[in-house]
């Protein structure tokens, strides 16, 4: 794989780690609770088809994506697997949803009616999931107003309410009081609906943070995303579960030169070399999803040692100082995320350097980064 010279920069995806992480989730939640894996945004940058296939083979039952377009791409590969669209749909989506047997998340009567009308036109009916807002403030019917909404939707011919969902706003906060409040609001709607004769088979609310931190939130199905990829939603979860990181981001030194004191490196001349050193140029930049915020910040692993990024990150290339590392040569492997020589740079570390979260670091990896499956 490393001899393929077309791979200027690549992400190695360890599918065994994905399998392991699903196994770890299953061990924690038992057999009764279903697993929907969040594979939106190209499986958080890992490649949606390979990750979905692996997760399903390891015991996940549902796939969750963000948008109908993502769902259609997956349907072509997985004709029978339930696919839930986690964002709110629009009217133009109904015929795609019905024709391809996708499951929409619904939070308006208008959309529910449109789906029902379309289903009847196709001579079928469709299952839907309803999204409640218990405190996320994103999509969903406010929980206080949900009962009349559920009653109205449950009377529409052509649709069946298969699922009831909500989403936590702060599940990874060690103070879980708001998460508990959201769960209680959700369970109250479940109970009130049941009293009105509306019994919904699949109730789900738990993302990675909640399924780890609040056992009682697991309900009928959990929706892990980030932990599937072996990344902890927050550091305090490390003691609850062992996960294996699935993605390593690697490249090779494209160019190497000796640079004397007084020379400046990259756009804007923000970095001046103080004493004679060697500078390596790596073929990765913000055009590959490696944020410009890494300019002058952070490190990569070369020959098992940390080389600091110097100067501004450009669209296609970055520069690192390798003056303190012995024996460096052109085409040496450089690791931006992952392990080399006993040291490891995690996605969390990379995110922390630039004030963001691992979700963003991973999902931003661009198309130019070849995905290589191990
Ligand atoms: C509705 C919904 N469910 C589940 C998830 C998975 O969350 P996480 O990756 O934190 O496990 C997400 C991700 O943002 C989401 O938007």
What is the tens place of the pLDDT at every residue in 7-63?
A: 789 999 999 999 999 999 999 999 999 999 999 999 999 999 999 999 999 999 999
**Domain co-membership, 150 together with 277:** no
Taking the model in full, what pTM does it have? 0.95
- Whole-number average pLDDT of the chain: 96
**Domain co-membership, 252 together with 216:** no
Residue-wise pLDDT for 184-198, tens only, equals 999 999 999 999 999
Section 267-295 average pLDDT: 98
Please tell me the predicted confidence (pLDDT) of residue 5: 60
Whether 267 sits among the annotated catalytic residues: the reply is yes
Q: What is the DSSP letter of 289?
A: T
| Residue 127, domain CATH | 3.20.20.10
**Domain co-membership, 213 together with 309:** no
In a domain, 45, yes or no: yes
Cα 65 to ligand 1 centroid, rounded to whole Å: 10
Q: Is residue 144 a contact partner of residue 138, using CB atoms and an 8 Å limit?
A: no
Section 281-304 average pLDDT: 97
Q: Angle, to 10 degrees, between the axis of helix 68-77 and the axis of helix 48-57?
A: 60
Helix (H, G, I), strand (E, B) or coil at 359: helix
The ligand 1 atom nearest the CA atom of 207: 11
Section 198-205 average pLDDT: 98
**Structural domain harbouring 150:** 33-230
Cα 98 to ligand 1 centroid, rounded to whole Å: 24
In a domain, 11, yes or no: no
Q: Is the pLDDT of residue 91 over 90?
A: no
Residue among 38, 166, 359 whose CB has most ligand 1 atoms within 8 A, to mutate? 38
How would DSSP label each residue in 220-282?
Answer: TEE---GGGGT--SSGGGGGT------EEEEEE--EEEEE-TT-EESGGG-EE--S-EEEEEE
- Domain tally, the chain: 2
Question: Nearest C-alpha to atom 13 of ligand 1 is from which residue?
Answer: 225
Kind and range of the H or E element at 159?
A: strand 159-165
Pocket of ligand 1 (CB under 6 A): 38, 86, 167, 207-209, 223-226, 233
Q: Which of 179, 202, 230 is the last residue of a domain?
A: 230
Q: Which of 183, 204, 230 is the last residue of a domain?
A: 230
What b/e readout covers 1-17, taking b as 16+ CB neighbours within 10 angstroms? eeeeeebbbbbbbbbeb
The ligand 1 atom nearest the CA atom of 105: 1
Section 339-350 average pLDDT: 97
| Residue 329, domain CATH | 2.40.37.10
Q: Point out which residues pair with 337 in neighbouring strands.
A: 249
Cα 27 to ligand 1 centroid, rounded to whole Å: 20
Q: Is the pLDDT of residue 341 over 90?
A: yes
The ligand 1 atom nearest the CA atom of 208: 11
Catalytic residue from among 257, 267, 276, 367: 267
Please tell me the predicted confidence (pLDDT) of residue 180: 98
Catalytic residue from among 34, 40, 203, 250: 40
- Record the tokens describing residue 266, joined without a space: 């990259």
**Domain co-membership, 224 together with 252:** no
């Amino acid at each position: 794989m490393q001899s393929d010279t077309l791979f200027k920069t690549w992400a190695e995806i360890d599918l065994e780690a994905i399998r392991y992480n699903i196994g770890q989730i299953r061990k924690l939640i038992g057999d009764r609770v279903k697993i929907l894996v969040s594979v939106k945004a190209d499986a958080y940058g890992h490649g949606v088809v390979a990750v979905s296939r692996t997760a399903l083979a390891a015991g996940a039952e549902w796939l969750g994506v963000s948008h109908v377009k993502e769902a259609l791409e997956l349907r072509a590969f997985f004709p029978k697997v339930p696919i839930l669209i986690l964002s709110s749909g629009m009217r133009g989506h109904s015929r795609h949803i019905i024709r391809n047997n996708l499951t929409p998340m619904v939070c308006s009567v208008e959309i529910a009616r449109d789906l029902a009308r379309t289903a009847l036109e196709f001579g079928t009916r469709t299952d839907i999931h309803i999204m409640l807002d218990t405190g996320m403030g994103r999509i969903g019917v406010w929980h206080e107003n949900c009962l009349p909404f559920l009653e109205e939707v449950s009377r529409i011919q052509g649709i069946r309410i298969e699922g009831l969902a909500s989403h936590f706003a702060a599940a990874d906060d060690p103070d879980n009081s708001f998460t508990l409040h959201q769960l209680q609001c959700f369970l109250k709607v479940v109970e009130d609906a049941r009293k009105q004769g509306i019994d919904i088979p699949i109730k789900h609310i738990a993302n990675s943070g909640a399924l780890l931190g609040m056992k009682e939130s697991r309900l009928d199905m959990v929706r892990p995303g980030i932990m599937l990829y072996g990344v902890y939603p927050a550091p305090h979860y490390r003691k609850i579960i062992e996960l294996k990181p699935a993605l390593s981001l690697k490249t090779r030194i494209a160019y190497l030169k000796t640079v004397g004191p007084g020379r400046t490196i990259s756009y804007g001349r923000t970095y001046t070399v103080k004493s004679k050193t060697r500078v390596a140029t790596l073929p990765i930049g913000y055009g590959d999803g490696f944020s410009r915020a890494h300019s002058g910040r952070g490190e990569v692993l070369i020959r098992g040692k940390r080389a600091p990024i110097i100067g501004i990150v450009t669209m296609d290339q970055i520069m690192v100082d390798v003056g303190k590392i012995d024996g460096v040569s052109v085409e040496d492997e450089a690791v931006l995320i992952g392990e080399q020589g006993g040291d490891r740079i995690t996605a969390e570390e990379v995110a922390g350097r630039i004030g963001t979260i691992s979700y963003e670091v991973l999902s931003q990896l661009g198309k130019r980064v070849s995905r290589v499956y191990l």
